[in-house]
């Protein structure tokens, strides 16, 4: 899977987090957040840090603090969805950076 496809997969997983949370399955939602971070986001982190270290820091905080805390604090589904939507817009920015990096690499070789 390309790194830009990984970004799409991360966004899809975050949609699942909201769906699970809406079904009142907070533990499952939290597990998806952690798995997505460990198995998907960490794989693209290296490329992203080269492009925008601050964006990576923000997303790490979202994955590890903001979103799990919103779930743990039993915030409304709309509030959790708002966190996810904000994360997804950062992921869109990240995806553009990754695509630029992928294109630059192709141009070199």
Q: What is the CA radius of gyration of the chain?
A: 14
- What gap in Å lies between CA 109 and CA 70, rounded to an integer? 44
Amino acid 45: pLDDT: 94
Give the global pTM.
0.94
The predicted pLDDT at position 34 comes to: 98
Rounded to an integer, what distance in angstroms lies between the CA atom of residue 97 and that of residue 49? Answer: 10
Domain carrying residue 65: 3-108
Say if residue 59's pLDDT is above 90.
yes
Q: Which two tokens stand for residue 26?
A: 């907070």
Q: What is the pLDDT of residue 103?
A: 87
At residue 61 the predicted structure's pLDDT band, cuts being 50, 70 and 90, is very high
Please answer whether residues 55 and 48 qualify as being in contact, where contact means their C-beta atoms are separated by less than 8 angstroms. Answer: yes
Q: How many domains does the chain have?
A: 1
């Amino acid at each position: 899977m390309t790194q830009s496809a990984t970004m799409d997969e991360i966004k899809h997983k975050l949609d699942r987090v909201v769906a699970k949370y809406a079904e009142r399955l907070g533990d499952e939602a939290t597990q998806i957040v952690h798995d997505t971070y460990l198995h998907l986001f960490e794989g693209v982190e290296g490329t992203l840090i080269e492009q925008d270290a601050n964006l990576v820091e923000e997303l790490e905080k979202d994955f590890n603090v903001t979103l799990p805390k919103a779930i743990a604090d039993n915030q409304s589904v709309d509030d959790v969805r708002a966190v996810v939507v904000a994360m997804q817009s950062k992921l869109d920015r990240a995806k553009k950076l990754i695509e630029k990096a992928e294109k630059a690499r192709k141009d070199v070789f």
